[in-house]
Amino acid sequence: MKAKLGPAAATTATAHKIAIIFYTIVIKQVEYDASLWAQRDQLREKRLEATLRKQAAERGYKLVPIDANKAA
């Protein structure tokens, strides 16, 4: 994260991630499970993609996925 966001933002992002994990463990009385975090990341990606598609449509564009075989 440090390379992508910079040192200050990476520290904040890491603290936020730890806080969410700790809060969930305490409130729901469950053990940490990395698969739950992976599900959350997938939902975040879907929301981001939906937002980008909506913004593109508002500007008159249509997003088309790049074929992985042709890109390589």
Domain ranges of the chain: 2-60
Summarised one tens digit per residue, pLDDT across range 6-24 is: 888 889 989 998 998 889 8
What pLDDT was estimated at residue 25?
A: 87
**Whole-model pTM?**
0.52
pLDDT band at 1 (very low <50, low <70, confident <90, very high): low
Average pLDDT, integer, range 33-51: 88
Amino acid letter at 3?
Answer: A
What pLDDT was estimated at residue 37?
A: 78
Torsion-angle region of residue 60: left (phi > 0), alpha (psi -120 to 50) or beta?
left
What pLDDT was estimated at residue 21?
A: 85
